[in-house]
Structure 1
Amino acid sequence: MAIPGPKSYPMVGTMMQLIFDEDGLFYSERKRSKAFYPIYKRWSFTLSLVCLINAEDIELILNNIKHIKKSHIYDFLHEWLGTGLLTSSGSKWQNRRKILTPAFHFNILQEFVGIFNRETENLVKVLERDCDKPYINVLIPITEFTLCSIGETSLGVDLGKGHTSYKEAVHNFGVILTKRIIRPWYHNDFVYSLAPLAQEQRKAVTVLHELSTRVISDRKKLFSADGQISYSDRKRLAMLDLMLKAKYDGADIDDEGIREEVDTFMFEGHDTTSMAICFALMALANEEKIQEEILEEIEEVLGHSGKLPTYNDLAELKFMERCIKECLRLYPSVPLIARVAGEHIKTHTGYIIPKGCDINIYIYDLHRSTQYWENPEKFDPDRFLPENVARRHPFAYLPFSAGFRNCIGQKFAILEIKAALCCILRKFKLKAVDTPQQIKYKSDLVLRPVGEVRVKFVLRK
């Protein structure tokens, strides 16, 4: 039984949309997902891929270690990230995962809360300065907040003080990457290497590597010959320090490997969390009753004294967490993930996905499927009450992927979002400027709006 798909043409296959309508690509893919549900195929030049939308088939991929390899589009990250946790596979991936897992232990995460609180206080000052305006485009201050938070928790660098070129390079790399992904002719390394875009990418990567390499060199000087850390003015930085300690203890990781992982954390950790917070602010601005319920819970846990939250305080914010999960359902920061079929796969609907085929898993469409979500466009945090979660297919909700390659930093991300919302909602009432229906998206690795995400901030009395 042939896998269905849109009309194809010689050479370009089914990718005409990429050539003639890049701006409408996000929405054309949504239409195809509905038209061909639960599976369809795309191809062009040497590219062959299958798109999956339903949980039963997705589970076959994510729960089988034979399909652990990421698709070829992740190779485009190698110039910056090398073959770190995001882009590696096989024994190297398993080794890196083992080394990095302790960096996200709750004892380490507790120390990060202080950084989140400090950066959130800086964020609130920026929002307060502009709250007399009709609205704030939250993309700008929230991106600065998450980038500074990631810079300090992964590298130990305060990116709020200078480092403009680094922040610009992070942004530029993301823009360049998206342009390459949606242009199939740039998937060929030789063709891409001749393009001006490749030169821009090399310039950005040079800046990115300069900072991480220098910081790693500086941090190594704080270790004694026997691998003991010898500084006293800072707490341990879990990501960088733990990897340096692992290296001194004989783990299979060198300086280049350490750089790969801190670069990976910088790449994965700032943009995804930034967009999650932006969409959460927009969503809550449109749900004033829910917004006030969150504030009541915050005040119940923290009181009215202005006390900054601890790790344990944030863990008690159960209703807020359900709201965050609902935001991530409606606005998954990573709207698709991609794998390679490690062997022939027979789907639940009887189709055969051939070995070696790229597989796109459309999380955005999965999270809006009426097969798993009643009235899917409605904002309803009760979907994540334990009894409702238990009734749902475990692979129907994938904001952090699932299975063997689930996101190692998901607890970190939820903690950061909680800390940000906690501080913001205590200080401001959010007023809607745009409805969710007015936000338009563009095709990208991260769910990203075409324009601004506008929210009105009103100081609470």
Structure 2
Amino acid sequence: MITVYFLLWLLTLLLGFYSISLLVKYLRNRSVINKVPSPPGHWFWGNLDNIIGHDPEIIFDMLRGYAEKYWPIYRFNGIYITTINLLHPCDIEIVLSQMKHLSKSRIYTLLKTWLGEGLLTSTATLYCVARENKNLLLLLLLRLNAGKKWQTRRKILTPAFHFNILQQSLVVFNEETEKLIEEIEMNSDKSCIDVVPLITQMTLQSIGETAMGLGNIDNATQLKYRESVYKIGKLLITKIAKPWYRIPFVYYFTQMRKEELQTTDFLHDLAYQLIRSRENILLKEHDDINKKTSYSGRKIVRMLDILLMAKMEGSDIDLEGIREEVDTFLFEGHDTTSMAITFLLLMMANHPNIQETVSQEISDVLGTGVPTYENLLELKYTERVIKETLRLYPSVPFISRIASEDFKTFTGYLIPKGTILHMHIFDMHRDPRIYRDPLTFDPDRFLPENCQRHPFAYIPFSAGPRNCIGQKFAIMELKAVLCGILRKFSLQHVDKPSDISFLPDLVLRPRGGVKVKFVRK
């Protein structure tokens, strides 16, 4: 009996010490992080009362106001979560350039019901820190768990973006651009066209064929897919703005959870259909796959092929892992690119002199032929136009990480381990301290002689070890689409940049679409 009492007393003592240590750590971190400037907030809600109940575009504009007022760093307080918002390229470099702060923050865990542990959401910090410090024991242990998942997936997927495969993808881009032009021609007599649905349809078809090896995705499925992605974005923002939805017990009984499950069930079912369809094609093409023949030397031209072959050859990826990557690339490969093309057309319509220069360069380089990979590399001015569009309208306006250790920012603040870090690309790209007259559309900012700026001051595809694996793919698609459209049409503005309001979402999404007038040449 004495032994039982002693053990209970010891357990209580240990729990007490542990609780006290957690409290001390919390208070220490709080005292440190509270030195970072912050908008005034409620004693309990923090700054959440500034966003709860407001329209999404008001929230977007409010965050832009915070960036301007509290540059180069500010704190945003919630009930139990505090985020540090970084706006200075030197601070952003500290986070993105190292093999330390690679784990995505909790905001990405809100996507895991949909994307699971895909390349966008999977963690990498422990594995990469162990590798950087040559900790062989930790590396060995991590081989048994998900700490190396991002590293493994990235290695498997990298060959899918080799320039030889990009060249083959260009055939699809040209074909889908022709279909897009046909759609525009059918509607060109209208006073204007909302380009968002047309461009989204085109980019979804493109990623479906180039990455998944599939033909046309029917219009009904496309529409439901787009609506589902938009719904996921709205659910994400709701969870951020209303933290009680992030309490599992509370969220379990809400209508929002039912909507999320229904939406993700559709998205998962679509991904599995794409996987099974492509797998059946591969099995028909290669009967000896059933004999487990190695295809390491085979020229594989699609991302899904590479994933399926990796699974067949015993790599560390299963069917669910393939589904995670299909979901990730269907989303990232079409939504981000569609927004980039949308804003590129908006800029062309609003800057006729620049549009004319791009059209002339396309004519000089391509003549009357179909764009080739080599042709697109020659479009230097067009590439500067694309870069300037992505400066003003980065498809992913912010990224988020978790501090893997204590560090001091360039701006002089100590950031404790475990802090959520938001890096606001949209605001940094429009910072007058970095870009003179930042709201002016000026492609010559990207002339070699004008690029003497901080290397992390322009990061439309993120930067460092977790940069966007598909950035060359995206740039090539933007060039191909612009070549096709400007050879057929002159663009005239209906919407002006000042007319566009933005929604806080998974990507930089305009509210109400973007309208352009197309005039046949």
What TM-score do the two structures reach when normalised by structure 2? 0.84
| Residue 242 (structure 2) aligns with | 183
| Residue 105 (structure 1) aligns with | 162
| Residue 5 (structure 1) aligns with | 38
| Residue 393 (structure 1) aligns with | 454
| Residue 103 (structure 2) aligns with | 69
Specify the code of the residue in structure 2 equivalent to 1:401: S
Structure 2 gaps of 5+ residues are: 1-31, 125-147, 284-288
Matched residues in 2 for 1:147 and 1:87: separation?
21
Matches within 5 A, 1:288-327: 288-303=352-367, 305=368, 307-327=369-389
Say whether residues 1:449 and 2:482 are aligned partners: no
Structure 1 residue matching 2:107: 3-state secondary structure: helix
Cα deviations by residue, 1:16-72 (Å, 9 ceiling, x for unpaired): 122132431111111111111100001112211000101000000001222101010
Which of 198, 209, 219 is residue 268 of structure 2 equivalent to?
209
Matches within 5 A, 1:132-143: 132-143=189-200
Q: 1:171 to 1:444 in 2, by over 3 A?
A: closer
8 Å Cα contact 2:405/2:416 also seen in 1 = yes
Matched residues in 2 for 1:229 and 1:409: separation?
27
Specify the code of the residue in structure 2 equivalent to 1:284: M
Structure 2 residue matching 1:51: 3-state secondary structure: strand
8 Å Cα contact 1:227/1:245 also seen in 2 = no
Q: 1:343 to 1:226 in 2, by over 3 A?
A: same
Structure 2 residue matching 1:155: 3-state secondary structure: coil
| Residue 442 (structure 2) aligns with | 380
> Shift of the alpha carbon at 1:408?
0.4
> Shift of the alpha carbon at 1:344?
1.1
Matched residues in 2 for 1:227 and 1:76: separation?
38
| RMSD, aligned CA | 1.8
Structure 2 residue matching 1:225: 3-state secondary structure: helix
| Residue 170 (structure 1) aligns with | 229
8 Å Cα contact 1:18/1:183 also seen in 2 = no
Deviates more, 1:391-400 or 1:250-259: 250-259
| Residue 69 (structure 2) aligns with | 35
Q: 1:314 to 1:6 in 2, by over 3 A?
A: same
Matched residues in 1 for 2:98 and 2:149: separation?
18
| Residue 137 (structure 2) aligns with | none
| Residue 355 (structure 1) aligns with | 417
Structure 2 residue matching 1:181: 3-state secondary structure: helix
Cα deviations by residue, 1:389-420 (Å, 9 ceiling, x for unpaired): 2x110000010000111000101111111111
Q: 1:395 to 1:207 in 2, by over 3 A?
A: same
Q: 1:110 to 1:229 in 2, by over 3 A?
A: farther
Which ranges of 4 or more aligned residues in structure 1 deviate by more than 6 Å?
A: none
Q: 1:360 to 1:430 in 2, by over 3 A?
A: same
Deviates more, 1:200-209 or 1:178-187: 178-187
Which of 209, 214, 230 is residue 157 of structure 1 equivalent to?
214
Which of 86, 94, 115 is residue 60 of structure 1 equivalent to?
94
Deviates more, 1:356-365 or 1:183-192: 183-192
| Residue 18 (structure 1) aligns with | 51
Matched residues in 1 for 2:243 and 2:489: separation?
45
Q: 1:266 to 1:189 in 2, by over 3 A?
A: farther
Cα deviations by residue, 1:341-400 (Å, 9 ceiling, x for unpaired): 1111201121111111101100011001112111101111111112222x1100000100
Matched residues in 1 for 2:293 and 2:379: separation?
37
Matched residues in 2 for 1:377 and 1:387: separation?
20
| Residue 497 (structure 2) aligns with | 436
Matched residues in 2 for 1:184 and 1:365: separation?
25
Specify the code of the residue in structure 2 equivalent to 1:7: P
Cα deviations by residue, 1:151-174 (Å, 9 ceiling, x for unpaired): 222222334434244444334333
Say whether residues 1:416 and 2:477 are aligned partners: yes
Structure 2 residue matching 1:50: 3-state secondary structure: strand
| Residue 261 (structure 1) aligns with | 325
| Residue 150 (structure 2) aligns with | 93
Structure 2 residue matching 1:19: 3-state secondary structure: coil
8 Å Cα contact 1:247/1:254 also seen in 2 = yes
8 Å Cα contact 2:359/2:487 also seen in 1 = yes
Say whether residues 1:82 and 2:116 are aligned partners: yes
8 Å Cα contact 2:397/2:508 also seen in 1 = yes
Matched residues in 2 for 1:190 and 1:420: separation?
47
> Number of residues paired by the alignment?
453
Q: 1:200 to 1:374 in 2, by over 3 A?
A: same
Q: 1:65 to 1:45 in 2, by over 3 A?
A: same
Matched residues in 2 for 1:83 and 1:377: separation?
37
Pair member with larger Rg: 2
Structure 2 residue matching 1:87: 3-state secondary structure: coil
Matched residues in 2 for 1:228 and 1:317: separation?
43
Specify the code of the residue in structure 2 equivalent to 1:189: P
8 Å Cα contact 1:147/1:159 also seen in 2 = no
Specify the code of the residue in structure 1 equivalent to 2:37: P
Q: 1:357 to 1:315 in 2, by over 3 A?
A: same
Cα deviations by residue, 1:90-111 (Å, 9 ceiling, x for unpaired): 2111111111111100111111
Matched residues in 2 for 1:239 and 1:315: separation?
23
Matched residues in 2 for 1:109 and 1:18: separation?
42
Cα deviations by residue, 1:128-155 (Å, 9 ceiling, x for unpaired): 1111111111111111111111122222
Structure 1 gaps of 5+ residues are: none
Which of 322, 340, 346 is residue 282 of structure 1 equivalent to?
346
| Residue 22 (structure 2) aligns with | none
> Shift of the alpha carbon at 1:228?
5.9
Which of 231, 247, 259 is residue 200 of structure 1 equivalent to?
259
Deviates more, 1:36-45 or 1:176-185: 176-185
What TM-score do the two structures reach when normalised by structure 1? 0.94
> Shift of the alpha carbon at 1:189?
3.3
Matched residues in 2 for 1:452 and 1:219: separation?
34
Matched residues in 2 for 1:411 and 1:61: separation?
23
Matched residues in 2 for 1:112 and 1:137: separation?
27
Structure 2 residue matching 1:8: 3-state secondary structure: coil
Q: 1:452 to 1:434 in 2, by over 3 A?
A: same
Matched residues in 2 for 1:191 and 1:121: separation?
50
Which of 217, 225, 228 is residue 290 of structure 2 equivalent to?
225
Matched residues in 1 for 2:231 and 2:48: separation?
25
8 Å Cα contact 2:400/2:421 also seen in 1 = yes
Q: 1:197 to 1:339 in 2, by over 3 A?
A: same
> Shift of the alpha carbon at 1:299?
0.8
Specify the code of the residue in structure 2 equivalent to 1:111: Q
8 Å Cα contact 1:22/1:182 also seen in 2 = no
| Residue 390 (structure 2) aligns with | 328
8 Å Cα contact 1:155/1:212 also seen in 2 = no
